[in-house]
Structure 1
Amino acid sequence: MRGLFPRCGLLVAAAQAAMLAAPLGASAGLLDYVGQCVPFARAASGIEIYGDAWTWWNQAEGRYNRGHRPRQGSVIVFAKTGRLPLGHVAVVSRVVERRVLMLTHANWSRQNGKRGHAEQDVTLYDVSPGNDWSEVKVWYRDVEGLGGGIYPVKGFIYGGHPSPQLTSRNPDYVGALIDAYVPGAGR
């Protein structure tokens, strides 16, 4: 029996590693996810697109409706840039008002010094001159506010079957508005 316990420890460690590397499943909580934004957005939205985040906009053409207005459960597609060489995708968890929404995504801010973690109901602020969601600022945990970068957006993909875990029961609408409208948050 004594010789079995070290093996159990190795088996438990291997099982935990496999759970983290495995795709999101019904048994795993959406916010327990650690990994890239693409598998997370696919699981959270129900939109079945694969490949780098920046390719989602074109891949959605003819398969899903697309547009430039946020809707709860839609996927927002960030363009490929120097700061985002693979782009980024996230899921709209709440529309707060015409220029502020909350998104749920993975692999943006650092948590405990590491990237990849899921974040729920993060503030996103439309800073585009035409109020068309073509440029945004994103709440960044490392500075506990909107980050300094402005990111170009391709648009929103509609039509999946969003996870019921997409948003919290009591989202902080007031906090999202404060995040967005503090002096210097926009242009």
Structure 2
Amino acid sequence: MRTTLRALSLAAAFLTVATGVEARSLLDYVGQCVPFAREASGIAIYGDAWTWWDQADGRYARGHKPRQGAVIVFAKTDRLRLGHVAVVSRVVEKRVLMLTHANWSRQNGERGHAEQDVTLYDVSPRNDWSSVKVWYRDSNGLGGGIYPVEGFIYGTGRTAPELTARNPDYVGALIDAYVPEAAAR
């Protein structure tokens, strides 16, 4: 209990500094993906998202298998000029997971908001998480883009209490991945 209260206090302090507004939860965060992922995962890496993979070398374990609490590093592309980082909130099955991140979908017409337990689908030909599709609020399903991924950075276990919901929608995540046209109905 004391650890949870301390983590919530730290998250609120972080959000007050980062946004200038006192927030009740990490999920109230509005801003860039990097500070959000750092606070949610406990992985102390700084700089643009695309630099995290190389910065983690020798400091944190890295790999290509998702684990709850790991940071997934999206590569720098024309669409993601600074890359993207997100935190794995749940592993649903071998090609589907949920992540919690900030600054992806638009909410109320603006980017930057945190999203909890959104679907990530491995579309790589070798099932190695090198290419993914991400749930996108604007289309209410998986977005049309395929994004290259560097891999996963594994932290030391200190993650934010709001990383995942009490009852995430596993079935919805599987439907998003394997029956994407169902979201349009």
Q: Shorter-chain TM-score category? A: 0.7 to 0.9
Q: Is the 8 A contact 2:19 2:30 kept in 1?
A: no
Q: How big is each residue's C-alpha offset from its partner over 1:84-122, in whole Å with a ceiling of 9 and x where there is no partner?
A: 000000000000000000000000000000000000000
Q: Equivalent residue for 1:31?
A: 27
Q: 3-state DSSP class of the match of 2:162?
A: coil
Q: Is the 8 A contact 1:20 1:34 kept in 2?
A: no
Q: 3-state DSSP class of the match of 1:169?
A: coil
Which one of the candidate residues 77, 81, 84 is aligned to 1:85? Answer: 81
**RMSD value, Cα:** 2.0
List aligned pairs for 1:124-135, cutoff 5 A: 124-135=120-131
User: Is the counterpart of residue 180 in structure 1 residue 171 in structure 2?
Assistant: no
Q: Which amino acid aligns with 2:145?
A: G
Which one of the candidate residues 158, 168, 172 is aligned to 1:171? Answer: 168
CA 1:165–1:23 in structure 2 vs 1: closer, same or farther (change >3 Å)? farther
Q: Equivalent residue for 2:50?
A: 54
CA 1:165–1:24 in structure 2 vs 1: closer, same or farther (change >3 Å)? farther
Unaligned runs of at least 5 residues, structure 1: 1-17
**Structure 1 segments (4+ residues) deviating >6 Å:** none
CA 1:130–1:23 in structure 2 vs 1: closer, same or farther (change >3 Å)? farther
Q: How big is each residue's C-alpha offset from its partner over 1:154-187, in whole Å with a ceiling of 9 and x where there is no partner?
A: 00000231112100000000000000001579xx
Q: TM-score, normalised by structure 1?
A: 0.85
Distance (whole Å) between structure 1 residues aligned to residue 96 and residue 49 of structure 2: 22
Q: 3-state DSSP class of the match of 1:152?
A: strand
